[in-house]
Structure 1
Amino acid sequence: MKSYEVNFDGLVGPTHNYGGLSYGNVASQSNSQQSSNPKEAALQGLAKMKALMEMGFQQGVLAPQERPDVAALRRLGFSGTDAQVIERAAKEAMPLLVASCSASSMWVANAATVSPSADTADGRVHFTAANLNCKYHRSIEHPTTSRVLGAMFANQQHFAHHAALPAVAQFGDEGAANHTRFCREYGEAGVEFFVFGRSAFDNRYPAPQKYPARQTLEASQAVARLHGLRDEGVVYAQQNPGVIDQGVFHNDVIAVGNGEALFYHEDAFLDTEQMLAELQGKLARVGSNFQSICVPRSAVTVDDAVRSYLFNSQLLSRPDGSMLLIVPQECQANERVWNYLQGLTSSGGLIREVKVFDLKQSMQNGGGPACLRLRVALNETELAAVNPGVIMTAPLYGSLTAWVEKHYRDRLSETDLADPQLLLECRTALDELTQILKLGAVYPFQIN
């Protein structure tokens, strides 16, 4: 039976704005308060989805969330009509309104952790929505994330869904941004690689001093238990706290893996040699020929990696066994990064080609190609059980681009977030989107 890695890209929401909400994310903070272009952002993301589909890769789409989140503001004491809640929040606590308007759910690498059926005890694909409790604006996402994923992967014979972990610091979970799966073939048993920034209960693990470590060891272990993963099919590794303090807020900013390959920066991990040996050994047991590609700091600095998002790229397997790297334009603009990539692809190694995409709107808010996609390994039967409305096709691309052109603004500033009309625009757009994607009622305004 054939198997595939399907990339489900997040569709940028109508309230895409530069709120500067993510402490520890250099791009997010440095572009704070600039005006954004939600329409351009959504169209850039859709163009990437279309291009990958046309290259022969399986591609899907994951819907954005309702914003502003009026219910979240009500839980914080704002009352009245929806318009009054927004107006009061803008007057009394603008930072809370900005947070409630964040379109950060577009970065669906943080939506959940996914384990394919070949790895799990019950032979189903398992999803655990990430609690994202390190940042308030992201911590409010997981209820809707769970409903959307449930509507996309509804067949209980093939798919199992778990609620987010307890929303406390000890179980901080940032989803697939800190999770990679290695395997020989997507439908065969593999090894799941969990990267954590700190331990909540074991002080033997060093922690960063400047920026928060968002993923805990305990959260990763809990997800592995929920998914029924075997000990021999899991490797835990600690992210280097020194690079977290340089702006590497997730592992996918400093490393990316796929199939039998790990592409990483020399400074990405603690105890790198021990980690690589464990990966090599466990993958050898399932017949996989694991390879690691280390980018030396002498060629690309951590600062280069953070500013270019070299590692926040998509590493995709081609039928001939080679790999394609999808990178943002910022990599081409960085001389050291681009020189390294030119040498990499001409060396005859595993990564043979690099394709560059314009994702400026997302990049300015701190999310690159890898942030925008959630990877789900599926066999033919499981792929057939996915809601067909979310699988990218040429007609769906046409429908979604027309939908964006119809509903999205081409400029959004912080003052625009106080306009109650923006909520009505968002709800109108999302109500139409659920019909396009055949999701049913997944948003609070559709349910309540």
Structure 2
Amino acid sequence: MQQFEANFDGLVGPTHNYAGLSFGNVASLNNANAISSPKNAALQGLAKAKALSDMGMVQGVLAPQERPDMETLRRLGFTGSSKNVLEEASKKAREVFLACCSASSMWTANAATVSPSADTQDGKIHFTPANLTNKFHRSLEPEVTGRILQATFNDDACFAHHKHLPDNEHFGDEGAANHTRLCSEYGAPGLELFVYGRHAFDSTKPAPKRFPARHTYEACEAVARLHGLSDEGVVYIQQNPDVIDQGVFHNDVIAVGNQNVLFYHEQAFYDTETKLDEIRRKFGDSPLHFINVPTQAVSVQEAVKTYLFNTQIITLPNGEMAIIAPTECRDSASVSAYLDELVTLDTPIKKVHYFDVKESMRNGGGPACLRLRVAMKAQELSAVNPNVLINDDTYAGLTNWVKKHYRDSLSENDLRDPQLLIESRTALDELTQLLNLGSVYPFQR
């Protein structure tokens, strides 16, 4: 039986900019108000996707959101022509305006939580879009994300789609950025790890003090119920509150898993040994590799700066694992030294490939942020919308699309230009035709 883990990377939207919207995300805050390059950002993301496809991986793309979000701006009381709405919002409610221009949907690790058919009660792949309630700019995404996922995975016999959880921070859900899956092979039943930052209904439990814990225990439980997961197929793990306060806003900034490997920083989790014991017990007798990176080797600050753990661990067609890392890891003395040693150790990870995704990194997202992982069998892959899968032709088509429609540079002042809105809608309208998505955007409906 053929089985795969497909990666679906988020296409960077035409309004990619640095507004510093994400409190708790150090890179996002540090680069606020810098000049961005939407064209370079989109091409960097596509180049990474194509490179993984060339390695023999199953690779697809997910469409970006419509931005500026005119529907939300009008809902918030800005009226008149599009030009007037943009001008008034940018003058009278700058933070709201910038949020409505964010291209943050590029980080599709936050698009949804995905459970493969091997884990679910009904034998379908389940998708629940993340509600992303903790950040206003991201809370605007779930409805359209749900439509894009349904247009991408559009066979009811193989895929089950759920509505996002209630729009309330008691059920704050950050999607796959706080979820990983361990398994002996992709098509076999696995162990899904749900990582949360706090308990919403019990204030006596540990929680961070400086930065928000965006994901709740209650949200993890709800998604597991929706997906029909068994108690023995799930482990709930609390993220270390102290590490959240050091700028680790999602678990995928401090830990990542793939098949039988869990790669994590020693400060990643709360009550680590108890939870590792639970993972060992539930995983069974198959070989399992815990790769614990000590603070002495790589500090939390350096891990956040380089996104050592926001790398992708992939299983190549030859069965070896490789790390897909940003060039920032290569340029860090401590991180590059650690990775050079890691590939010589007795673990499945044997290679590291470095990629330039600086436009994304400067806004707070590394290679792992840019992709949504979907483990699937051959017949399930054949049910995916074929237009979203990367090959030579689709890569060429998307690259030409970006070069045709995207600006070389973008400043905050450019965001209020009504011509940018026209350019963005023209680009997205053409994209939905390229990817055969139908009418997923508000301006198309």
Both structures adopt the same fold (TM-score exceeding 0.5):
yes
Unaligned runs of 5+ in 1: none
Alignment correspondent of 1:379:
377
Which residue of the partner structure matches residue 441 of structure 2?
443
> Which residue of the partner structure matches residue 139 of structure 1?
139
Distance in 2 separating the partners of 1:352 and 1:204: 43
- 1:363-401 Cα offsets, whole Å, 9 max, x none, are 000000000000001101110001101111110000000
User: What's 2:227 paired with?
Assistant: 227
- Which residue is 1:105 aligned to? 105
Equivalent in 359, 362, 368 of residue 360 of structure 2: 362
User: More deviation in 245-254 or 347-356?
Assistant: 347-356
| Aligned partner of residue 88 in structure 1, secondary structure | helix
Partner of 1:317: 315
Q: Are residues 1:120 and 2:120 paired?
A: yes
Return the letter of the residue paired with 1:325.
I
SS in 2 for 1:195: strand
* 1:93 Cα deviation after fit: 1.1
The one-character-per-residue Cα deviations of 1:37-78 (angstroms, maximum 9, x if unpaired) are 000000000000000000000000000010000001111111
Q: In structure 1, how many angstroms separate the alpha carbons of the residues matched to 2:42 and 2:316?
A: 27
In 1: Cα distance, 2:34 partner to 2:106 partner: 18
Residues 249-398 of structure 1 correspond to what in structure 2 (within 5 A)?
249-284=249-284, 288-398=286-396
Aligned partner letter, 1:305: A
2:182 maps to a residue whose letter is F
Q: Post-superposition shift, 1:322?
A: 2.4
Structure 1 counterpart of 2:403, from 386, 402, 405: 405
Alignment partner, residue 69 of structure 2: 69
Residue deviations 1:208-255 (CA, integer Å, cap 9, x gap): 000000000000000000000000000000000000000000000000
Q: Residue 328 of structure 1: CA displacement?
A: 0.3
Following the alignment from structure 1 to structure 2, what is the Cα–Cα distance between the partners of residues 82 and 205?
47
Per-residue deviation, 1:202: 2.3
Q: TM-score, normalised by structure 2?
A: 0.99
**What secondary structure does 1:78 align onto?**
coil
State the partner residue of 1:430. Answer: 428
Structure 1 residues 164-212: Cα deviation after superposition (integer angstroms, max 9, x where no partner): 1011110000000000011111111111000000000123420000000
Deviation (angstroms), 1:350: 2.0
> Which consecutive residues of structure 2, in runs of 5 or more, have no partner in the other structure?
none
Structure 1 distance, partners of 2:158, 2:344, is 42
SS across alignment from 1:415? helix
Distance in 1 (CA, whole Å) between partners of 2:294 and 2:318 is 27
Q: Partners in 2 of 1:154 and 1:55 — Cα distance?
A: 27
CA shift, 1:345, in A, is 1.1
Q: Trace 1:56-95 onto structure 2 (pairs within 5 A).
A: 56-95=56-95
Q: For residues 8-52 of structure 1, what are the alpha-carbon distances to aligned partners after superposition, in whole Å with 9 as ceiling and x for unaligned?
A: 000000000000000000000000000000000000000000000
CA deviations on 1:274-319 (whole Å, 9 max, x unpaired) are: 11111111110xx532211000110000001000000000001124
- The CA distance in 2 between the partners of 1:118 and 1:357, in whole Å, is 32
- Tell me the amino acid that sits aligned with residue 156 of structure 1: D
Quick check: 2:57–2:317 contact (8 Å CA) kept in 1?
Answer: no
Q: Which residue type is aligned with residue 184 of structure 2?
A: R
Letter matched to residue 342 of structure 1: D
TM-score (norm 1): 0.98
Report the identity percentage: 62
CA contact (8 A) 2:181 2:257 kept: yes
Higher mean displacement: 315-324 or 239-248: 315-324
What value does the CA root-mean-square deviation take over the aligned residues? 0.8
Moved more, 415-424 or 341-350: 341-350
Count of residue pairs brought into register by the alignment: 445
Conserved? CA contact 2:289–2:347, under 8 Å? no
Distance 2:43 2:295 in 1: 35
Mapping 1:22-41, distance limit 5 Å: 22-41=22-41
SS at match of 1:327: strand
- State the shift of 1:348 in Å: 4.3
- Secondary structure at the residue paired with 2:382? helix
Q: Deviation at 1:320?
A: 3.9
TM-fit CA distance, 1:88? 1.0
Q: What displacement does 1:85 show?
A: 1.0
Aligned residue in 2 for 1:419: 417
Cα distance in 2 between the residues matched to 1:348 and 1:342: 13
